[in-house]
Amino acid sequence: MSTPGVTVDRDKETGVAVVTLDRAEKHNAITLDMARELGAVWRGFRYEDDVRAIVVTGAGGRAFCTGIDREAAGNVPQPSSPYTIDDPLLAIGPKANDLWKPVIAAVEGMACGGAFYLLGESEFLIAGEDATFFDPHTTYGMVSAFETVHMAQRMPHGEIARMALMGSAERISARRAYETGLVSEVTEPGGALTAARGAAAVIASYPTEAVQGTVRALWSVKETARAQALAHAPHLVALGNLPADRQAALFGGRGRGGHRLR
């Protein structure tokens, strides 16, 4: 099954499905149609008993995902209240769609910004050695709120604070991500999907009730704190973001001066 920008492959023999963000030419940036489709895909998996574990990845090898397509973001009208925002990425993850089947993220190349909505709702991450992680929000005059909350569940406070505040000036290598607990396994470049498929096949071979119960138990440990933090995010974003035209001006100057890899 596929729609523009999202492809789903199911292996009935292993019980593993692979969800691929399929806009390699745009670094798998998410359009509004892709955001809606991802939500529908996760909700649909709840009714597919043959799918017992899922891998999410990006096409092309150059990027897992670089967040929302800025052209798409410009088409989302925002309410005037500082206490709420309309964010099309809020429901692109499996947990936001009440799916408790295990999801493994296979990351190659760049993963940044809005990619963390997906990574934050995966059970664990496997990354190719050339994968990099960064959050450019502050560089472009935007508050990193939802993304930071998701990553704060996975990384030590100092690491996520540094990534969020340093913006596009630094990128975290796959090796550093492994050292800090964000990534559970580092493979040779291009090997993340194979490794993730293998892990997913093992998990899918176990009794599904026990697996899903374990996933739910793990998430219940941090769900209250995460929900409270996310509740603050809308008005922090609304109050702290620069106007769209000033964001665009900053974004237009991206890439100048390079970045440090650590």
81, two tokens? 């209240």
Q: Mean pLDDT throughout 253-262? A: 70
Torsion, Cα of 60, 63, 66, 67 (10° steps): 60
User: What pLDDT is recorded for position 221?
Assistant: 78
User: What pLDDT is recorded for position 152?
Assistant: 87
Task: Report pLDDT digits (tens) over 32-61.
Answer: 999 999 999 999 999 999 999 999 999 999
Task: Report the distance separating Cα 41 and Cα 23, nearest Å.
Answer: 17
Q: Is the pLDDT assigned to residue 96 strictly greater than 60?
A: yes
Task: Report pLDDT digits (tens) over 158-178.
Answer: 999 999 999 989 999 999 999
* Structural domains present in the chain: 2-78+85-191 (3.90.226.10)
Q: Mean pLDDT throughout 221-247? A: 66
| Nearest of 119, 94, 254 to residue 177 by alpha carbon | 119
User: What pLDDT is recorded for position 83?
Assistant: 66
Q: Mean pLDDT throughout 74-97? A: 77
Q: Is the pLDDT assigned to residue 204 strictly greater than 80?
A: yes
User: What pLDDT is recorded for position 60?
Assistant: 96
Q: How many beta carbons lie within 10 A of that of residue 96, not counting itself?
A: 17
Q: Is the pLDDT assigned to residue 252 strictly greater than 80?
A: no
pTM of this prediction? 0.86
User: What pLDDT is recorded for position 144?
Assistant: 84
User: What pLDDT is recorded for position 213?
Assistant: 95
Q: Mean pLDDT throughout 180-189? A: 97
CB-count burial class (<10 Å; 0-12, 13-18, 19+) for 68: buried
Task: Report the distance separating Cα 65 and Cα 23, nearest Å.
Answer: 9
Give the chain's mean pLDDT. Answer: 88
Q: Mean pLDDT throughout 229-242? A: 64
User: What pLDDT is recorded for position 179?
Assistant: 96
Task: Report pLDDT digits (tens) over 104-125.
Answer: 999 999 999 889 999 999 999 9
The maximal CA–CA distance of the chain, rounded, in angstroms, is 53
108 close to 167: Cβ distance less than 8 angstroms: no
